[in-house]
Amino acid sequence: MHDPERHTMATPPHDAELIILANQTLGKIEGRLWGQFIELAGRCINGGIYDPDSPHARPDGTRADVFEAMRELQPTHIRYPGGCATAYFDWQELVGPREQRPRNKLFRGLGQSQSTAFGIPEAYGYAKELGAELYLTVNAHTQSPEDAANLVEYLNGTGPTKYADLRRSHGREEPYNVKLFGLGNEIYGDWQPGQKTAAEYVAWCRRAIQEMKLVDPAIDIVCVGLGRPGPEWDRIVLKGLIDRIDMISVHNYCGRPVFRDCMAAFRVYEEMFNWLDVAVDEAMDTLLTRKKRPGFAFDEWNVWYRSKHGPVADLEETYDYADAMTVASLFHVMLRNTRSVTLSNISLAVNTCGSIFTDKMRCVRQTIFYPQKLFRAKHSGRAVRTVVECPQFAAKHERFFCGIVDVEKAKDENLPTLLKFDDVPALDVMTSIDEKRGRMSISVLNKLEEHPLRTALTFRGVKPNMQRVKVHRMTGNSIAAVNTLDSPNNVGLETQTTDLDGAFTFPPASLTLLEFTL
């Protein structure tokens, strides 16, 4: 992990080559791709975002230091209230004066309770202050389709109707105009109250969507998908709802205590998207009338393999440099697939699998914060194809999240959930071109832990300025480097400016983004 070096044409032959094909567009980088997820679980909201007892609390009870960190990420939307928390809250318990709401709700499966003080109006206001949209998950588990429609009426109704008037009685005359709703969360799982079969879920959703869109036809609907662990779920749900939904969600968590295995996680996500593409195409073939193809809502994903659920420090991962590399590679997958992926938000924002971590007095940006910040700022316009010629290596990874992966478990080569790859590219590359900004950004992960790669850059269909190229890099002195409350700056971002002569050396185990003017 060294500073980037400039090389001349007199240096030895290249180790790799990147060929940027500017005329081959993979997809547009626009819309709801940069979301954050805040959940009424663990210390994400209560004790993280919302903490009236903290010295950093603003008059509304939210923490100023956490808000400023969130604002750095420039989220396009905020998913709330879950996640799994969706199944525990009736929406009526999260609106109205705080003193009239239940003080706490008990998550019986975990033996934990969560305050209702940061409810739907507070989440809406927080998102709006961030310049983001509220993405509201609906309790499809234990509430009825009529409850879902009543929620839309409460939020968006304009007439003299019962639930619009209820909103008015709570002090808000104008509608909230929330336009993005997810129907349940992982409702296929036995860890959720109100678990449903695919057929039961389809029946619930068809009725709910009909009633919700009669109230507000302009809303977008996300249904629950499962992906490779349960392909029949997706087939049944898509066949039953393809004519009514705007997106289907997919969740996956990854990570292993072996660096090279972490560097293979992106292949698992590529296979997941490829499978879902096939499933959506199959369902579209059953339609007799034309309809816009539903997109993918990649609305829960992150590194998670160390920590467990518990009443204390619930899923509070300490992320290292290797985890930040993994998150960057998963962002690459998402950005290369924006023809299908129309929504993405990493899970979660604060403390619980958090990009931001707090105690009562302090707030730290974890390592995984920095790829998000860098890519949000520098990748825009359209994703274009890049041909990568480089060394390859072998690695393995679970197909889907399957619990805590300790060091001993990681040594087992015979787990039935493992996917094995012999051809993981040492360089993982994402190129975007934004003609309006006159910018081309090439983010590159060198996944070799010990070897720099001197790489030739070849451009077809575009002529970038090779003078005064901005080189953004993630800093850190080892793959085990972490940012903690006591030592918050071990990993970060730095920018240098250099002239390039057609080649660049990517340090071992590194994230680099080259920013060119056009």
* 16-25+385-391+426-517 and 31-378 share one fold: no
6 pLDDT band (50/70/90 cuts)? very low
- Can you give the pLDDT at residue 12? 57
DSSP code at position 480:
T
CATH fourth-level superfamily of 16-25+385-391+426-517: Golgi alpha-mannosidase II (2.60.40.1180)
Residue 129, classed as helix, strand or coil, is: helix
- Which residue from 504, 453, 227, 482 is spatially nearest to 369, judged by alpha carbons? 482
Residues 6+ apart with CB under 8 A from 369: 69, 72, 73, 355, 356
Residues 160, 166, 170, 176, CA torsion sign:
negative
Helix (H, G, I), strand (E, B) or coil at 493: strand
- Please tell me whether residue 210 adopts helix, strand or coil conformation: helix
| 240-244 mean pLDDT | 96
> Alpha carbon of 497 to those of 83, 406, 514: distances in Å?
42, 41, 10
Instruction: Name the pairing type of β-strands 439-446 and 427-434.
Output: antiparallel
Cα(134)–Cα(182) distance, integer angstroms: 11
pLDDT of res. 169: 98
Beta carbons of 404 and 306 less than 8 angstroms apart: yes
Report the C-alpha gap between 4 and 22 in whole angstroms: 25
Distance, in Å, from the CA atom of 35 to the CA atom of 222, rounded to the nearest integer, reads: 15
One-letter identity of residue 359: D
DSSP for 299-363, written as a single string: EEEEE--S----SSSTT----BHHHHHHHHHHHHHHHHTTTTEEEEEES-SBSTT-SEEE-SS-E
Residue-level pLDDT at 229:
72
Higher pLDDT among residues 311 and 134, named by residue: 134
The pLDDT mean for the chain works out to 95
What is the rounded average pLDDT of the residues 333-362?
Answer: 97
d(C-alpha 380, C-alpha 433), whole Å: 7
CATH 2.60.120.200 assigned to domain 31-378? The reply is: no
For residue 286, give the amino acid letter. T
- Domain borders along the chain are 16-25+385-391+426-517, 31-378
**Long-range contacts: 51-58, Cβ < 8 Å, 24+?**
51/358, 51/360, 53/360, 54/360, 54/361, 55/360, 55/361, 56/361, 56/363
Per-residue pLDDT, 106: 86
Q: What is the CA radius of gyration of the chain?
A: 23
Percent of the chain's residues with pLDDT above 90: 89
- In the predicted model, is pLDDT for residue 330 greater than 80? yes
Mean pLDDT of 179-200: 96
Q: Is the pLDDT of residue 450 over 90?
A: yes
Amino acid occupying residue 4: P
- Report how far apart, in Å, the C-alpha atoms of 390 and of each of 248, 268, 323, 453, 483 are: 35, 20, 23, 8, 31
Residue type, 82: G
Position 402 scores a pLDDT of 78
**Using one digit for the tens of pLDDT, what is the confidence trace for 47-102?**
999 999 999 999 999 999 999 999 999 999 999 999 999 999 999 999 999 999 99
Instruction: For residues 61 and 57, give the distance between their C-alpha atoms in angstroms, rounded to a whole number.
Output: 5
Burial of 393 (0-12, 13-18, 19+ CB in 10 A): middle
The stretch 448-472 carries a mean pLDDT of 97
Find tokens 């997106």 and name the residue: 247
Q: What is the pLDDT of residue 15?
A: 96
Q: Which of these, 377, 354, 348, lies nearest to 367 by C-alpha position?
A: 354
Strand duo 32-37 + 469-475: pairing: unpaired
> pTM of the entire structure?
0.96
Is residue 197 very low, low, confident or very high in pLDDT (cuts 50, 70, 90)? Answer: very high
| Per-residue model confidence as pLDDT tens digits over 111-155 | 789 999 999 999 999 999 999 999 999 999 999 999 999 999 999
Q: In what order do the strands lie in the sheet containing 16-29? A: 492-498, 469-475, 510-517, 439-446, 427-434, 381-389, 16-29, 453-460, 503-506
pLDDT at residue 358 above 70? yes
**What's the CA gap between 217 and 223, in Å, rounded?**
16
In this predicted structure, what is the pLDDT of residue 5?
44
Q: Quick check: helix, strand or coil at residue 492?
A: strand
List pLDDT tens digits, range 373-383: 999 999 999 99
Q: For residue 212, how many C-alpha atoms fall within 13 Å in the half-sphere facing its CB?
A: 28
CA separation (Å) from 4 to 204, 301, 482? 55, 31, 22
CA distances from 282 to 154, 235, 241, 507 (A): 36, 8, 13, 44
pLDDT at 230 exceeding the cut of 80: no
